[in-house]
């Protein structure tokens, strides 16, 4: 494999694209929260057996799964993305498992409002943003690694995992600093829990008006 980047690949800055992704997600997240400030779940919070609480509980499980999943993926990809085609572990069954777990985390965060609509909307918004980023990254990786990446791209699906393709290694070089950073970044999904509870409390005490209901 020829790891020497050509001029086009060298001019591509993955860090800049990732920064743009985070900025766009932050703006969209802020807009979504602003909309939810005046919206409430159609399902009343009537205790542990209520549909509202069930949706929230499932959402929390999805958030935990997203945090653990993103951390797991970072064990394989941390510091290697621009140096080699990573095709082991989660990357053997899906080309973008980190992003897939982000979709899951976004759905879990939206579910903290007790609304299936909010969960679905959060996941769809995240998919749309990451789809743009993935296309840019794929162009870079194709230019960087050529046939090696094209073969990987043809074999492994972009987002939907194919577990039949699973392959792993007996040893793995781990960069703890990058793994910890990914874990901390993923924990931002947890902020949706107190945020949603705070909004619901403000609505119950008529501090915030409820202008629409979300199923």
Q: 5 in a domain, yes or no?
A: no
Q: Which of 17-31, 38-52, 82-96 has the highest mean pLDDT?
A: 82-96
Q: 76 in a domain, yes or no?
A: yes
Residue 36 and residue 195: Cα distance in Å, rounded? 10
- Residues 41-70 have a mean pLDDT of 87
Which three-class secondary structure state does DSSP give residue 40? strand
Residue 208 and residue 149: Cα distance in Å, rounded? 51
Q: What percent of the chain has pLDDT over 90?
A: 50
Q: 7 in a domain, yes or no?
A: no
Q: What pTM, to 2 d.p., does this model score?
A: 0.83
Q: 110 in a domain, yes or no?
A: yes
Q: 16 in a domain, yes or no?
A: yes
The pLDDT of residue 38 is above 80: no
Phi then psi for residue 208, to 5 deg, are -115, 135
Domain count, the chain: 1
Q: 3 in a domain, yes or no?
A: no
Are 111 and 123 within 8 A, CB to CB? no
pLDDT in tens, 133-142: 898 889 989 9
CATH of the domain at 130: 1.20.120
Q: 4 in a domain, yes or no?
A: no
Domain residues for the domain of 143 are 12-214
């Amino acid at each position: 494999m020829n790891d020497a980047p050509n001029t086009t690949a060298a001019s591509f800055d993955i860090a800049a694209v990732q920064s743009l992704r985070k900025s766009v997600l932050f703006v969209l997240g802020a807009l979504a929260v602003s909309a939810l400030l005046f919206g409430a779940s159609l399902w009343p919070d009537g205790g542990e057996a209520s549909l509202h609480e069930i949706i929230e509980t499932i959402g929390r499980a999805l958030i935990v799964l997203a945090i653990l999943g993103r951390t797991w993926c970072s064990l394989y990809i941390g510091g290697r993305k621009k140096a080699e085609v990573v095709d082991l572990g989660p990357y053997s069954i899906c080309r973008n498992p980190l992003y897939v777990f982000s979709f899951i985390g976004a759905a879990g965060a939206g579910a903290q409002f007790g609304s299936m609509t909010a969960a679905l909307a959060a996941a769809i918004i995240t998919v749309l943003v990451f789809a743009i980023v993935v296309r840019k990254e794929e162009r870079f990786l194709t230019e960087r690694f050529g046939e090696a990446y094209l073969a990987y791209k043809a074999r492994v699906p972009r987002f939907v995992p194919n577990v039949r393709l699973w392959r792993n290694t007996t040893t793995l070089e781990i960069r703890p600093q990058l793994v910890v950073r990914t874990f901390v970044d993923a924990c931002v999904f947890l902020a949706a829990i107190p945020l949603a509870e705070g909004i619901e409390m403000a609505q119950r005490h008529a501090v915030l008006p409820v202008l629409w209901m979300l199923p």
